[in-house]
């Protein structure tokens, strides 16, 4: 069964095309990731799919509801946690959850059991009387998730939910998300963290409102236009600048202390890179082929398509 289906989804703001001809199909019970940098159109896409923002063109159905015609009925079946989820800092944890229960018209007889479960689920039980404004960033995200789940949605939209959250809290947050999927909830998650996208069942690469790729993480990695070499030298920044200037037809990316080279001719690129590094007086530490990460794929696909865009 399909939980989300979008065809030709488009949204403009004056002359700006924020989302352009987007086609998506998300199966029930999967984690679907929308991946892209800031300004890619992730939030605009989510706002259309949740019925907050009407599309300029195209259609979309979520949980059996047309997002344009049935936006009020749609709210009964979805949860939405935006980048700046509306927690009230002067209300306690339990008061925030109860407030959202009121918004979603959760029956009084069901609230206590749901609230107790969500507090335990998110490890917030010991903090239920703490003011939301006094919570850590990770705990605020967990509270936002609990509030978005109080009405038991079928589809949950999370817009960059771990942005600015420490690594331990990110791990805990994803543990909670996996549990939700085991219970049959469909998750639609946007993220700029490509390592985080690896956790999704399927994902879409988005750039400037356009879909660059769609599939499982392995299928998206298979889009890599060529092989990948990892180069380590005594001065990676200088090395990257040199190779960008001298290696025609090779995508050069700087990842910390390593330079990644995407090439269709591994042997020739390796030989040329060695010569350039030596000629520049740089010390070569290592040069080897590696498996691409999603970040490598995104950078390479974007560079590969740039001339035609």
Please give the residue that has the higher pLDDT: either 192 or 57: 57
Lowest-confidence pick of 43-47, 119-123, 184-188, 259-263: 119-123
Query: Could you give the count of Cα atoms lying within 13 Å of 11 in the half-sphere of its Cβ?
Result: 24
Q: What confidence score (pLDDT) does residue 305 get?
A: 66
For residue 203, give the nearest of 182, 220, 221 by alpha carbon.
220
**Sign of the alpha-carbon dihedral angle for 157, 101, 120, 126:** positive
Cross-strand pairs, 116: none
Q: What confidence score (pLDDT) does residue 82 get?
A: 87
For residue 141, give the nearest of 120, 126, 161 by alpha carbon.
161
Mean pLDDT, rounded, for 231-244: 96
Topology adopted by domain 227-291: Alpha-Beta Plaits (3.30.70)
* CA distances (Å), origin 132, targets 118, 150, 151, 168: 16, 17, 20, 20
For residue 229, give the nearest of 279, 143, 178, 296 by alpha carbon.
296
| Arithmetic mean of pLDDT over the chain | 91
Q: Which distant-in-sequence residues (6+ apart) come within 8 Å of 34 by Cβ?
A: 42, 45, 46, 188, 189, 190, 191, 203, 204, 206
pLDDT digits (tens, 9 = 90+) for 76-109: 999 999 887 788 999 999 999 999 999 988 999 9
Which two three-digit tokens encode residue 229?
């070499």
For residue 75, give the nearest of 157, 14, 194 by alpha carbon.
157
DSSP designation for 131: B
- Gap between the terminal Cα atoms of the chain: 35
From the CA atom positions of the chain, what is the Rg in Å?
23
Task: Please answer whether residues 122 and 97 qualify as being in contact, where contact means their C-beta atoms are separated by less than 8 angstroms.
Answer: no
Which two three-digit tokens encode residue 166?
């420490």
pLDDT digits (tens, 9 = 90+) for 199-219: 999 999 999 999 988 999 989
251 pLDDT higher than 70: yes
306 pLDDT higher than 60: no
Q: What confidence score (pLDDT) does residue 307 get?
A: 46
Q: Which distant-in-sequence residues (6+ apart) come within 8 Å of 176 by Cβ?
A: 121, 122, 142, 145
Topology adopted by domain 2-221: Rossmann fold (3.40.50)
Mean pLDDT, rounded, for 237-246: 96
Phi and psi, residue 163, nearest 5°? -65, 120
123 pLDDT higher than 70: yes
Q: Which of 70-74, 171-175, 220-224, 235-239 has the highest mean pLDDT?
A: 235-239
Per DSSP, the three-state class of 38 is coil
For residue 220, give the nearest of 44, 35, 49, 80 by alpha carbon.
35
Per DSSP, the three-state class of 195 is helix
Distance (Å, rounded) from C-alpha 286 to C-alpha 291? 15
Per DSSP, the three-state class of 260 is strand
> Strand order in 2-13's β-sheet?
16-27, 2-13, 57-62, 65-66
> How many Cβ atoms are within 10 Å of 218's Cβ, its own excluded?
8
189 pLDDT higher than 50: yes
Task: Please answer whether residues 97 and 150 qualify as being in contact, where contact means their C-beta atoms are separated by less than 8 angstroms.
Answer: yes
Which two three-digit tokens encode residue 62?
């979520």
pLDDT digits (tens, 9 = 90+) for 140-157: 989 999 999 999 999 999
Instruction: Label each residue of 112-129 as H, E or C.
Output: HHHHHHHHHHCCCHHHCC
Residue ranges of the domains in the chain?
2-221, 227-291
């Amino acid at each position: 069964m399909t939980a989300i289906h979008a065809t030709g989804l488009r949204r403009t703001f004056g002359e700006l095309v924020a989302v352009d001809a987007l086609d998506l199909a998300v199966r029930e019970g999967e984690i679907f990731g929308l991946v892209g940098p800031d300004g890619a159109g992730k939030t605009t896409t989510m706002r259309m799919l949740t019925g907050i923002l009407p599309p300029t063109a195209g259609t979309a159905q979520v949980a059996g509801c047309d997002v344009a015609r049935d936006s009020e009925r749609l709210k009964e079946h979805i949860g939405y946690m935006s980048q700046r989820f509306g927690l009230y800092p002067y209300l306690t944890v339990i008061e925030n959850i109860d407030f959202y229960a009121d918004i979603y018209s959760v029956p009084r007889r069901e609230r206590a059991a749901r609230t107790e479960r969500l507090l335990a689920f998110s490890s917030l039980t010991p903090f239920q009387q703490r003011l939301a404004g006094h919570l850590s960033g990770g705990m605020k995200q967990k509270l936002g998730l609990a509030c978005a789940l109080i009405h038991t949605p079928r589809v949950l939209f999370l817009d960059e939910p771990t942005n600015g959250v420490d690594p331990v809290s990110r791990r805990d947050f994803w543990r909670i998300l996996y549990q939700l999927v085991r219970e049959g909830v469909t998750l639609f998650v946007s993220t700029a963290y490509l390592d985080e996208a690896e956790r999704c069942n399927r994902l879409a690469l988005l750039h400037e409102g356009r879909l660059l790729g769609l599939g499982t993480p392995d299928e998206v990695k298979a889009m890599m236009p060529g092989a990948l070499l990892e180069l380590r030298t005594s001065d990676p920044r200088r090395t990257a600048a040199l190779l960008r200037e001298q290696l025609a037809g090779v995508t050069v990316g700087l990842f910390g202390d390593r330079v990644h080279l995407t090439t269709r001719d591994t042997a020739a690129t390796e030989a040329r890179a060695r010569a350039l590094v030596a000629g520049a007086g740089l010390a070569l530490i290592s040069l080897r082929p590696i498996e691409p990460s999603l970040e490598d794929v995104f950078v390479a696909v974007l560079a590969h398509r740039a001339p035609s865009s």
